[in-house]
Amino acid sequence: MAKPPVNLFRTCPDSHTLLVIGAGPIARALVQAHLQVRPGITDVLLWNRSAEKLHPLSDNLQQQGINAGIAPDLATAVSRTDIISKATSATIPVIKGSWFTPGTHIDLVGSLAGEQSTTATLSNPELAAADIGTRLIGVE
């Protein structure tokens, strides 16, 4: 297996819940990379605008013995996870800073990341604009 990106090692070692936003090949690879770096992850939540695209990934993870499921509500999923990986081609923010809890780690991959590609651990949800940028995450 290829070496995971170094930013994944910045996640909290006692993280247990991973949320992956997106359904493409990069999202699938990010799930595997996070599981390799943080074997203590016990739950994988998946979210995509088109939830039906997530069934093959969810099924595959469950066949590997991983507790995986499709999150019906993104705001709720964001608020209860330790690590978030967003891998979409969305051209507008899909997550809001007000949904985060302190200590959430987020990495962004995709069209909005571009030159502003970033990884952050949010120490305070109100700091999301400073940590990540309002162009990437809408802050209420």
Q: For residue 53, give every residue at least 6 positions away whose Cβ sits within 8 Å of its Cβ, in sequence order, or none.
A: 23
Model confidence band, residue 111 (pLDDT cutoffs 50, 70, 90):
low
Cβ-based neighbour number of residue 1 at 10 Å:
6
Tell me the per-residue pLDDT of 20-70, one tens digit each, with 9 for 90 and over. Answer: 999 999 999 999 988 988 888 999 999 999 999 999 999 999 999 999 999
The pLDDT > 70 percentage for the chain reads 68
Residue 89 zone, left/alpha/beta (φ > 0; ψ -120 to 50; rest): alpha
Give the pLDDT mean for 104-127: 54
Q: Which CATH class is domain 14-131?
A: alpha beta
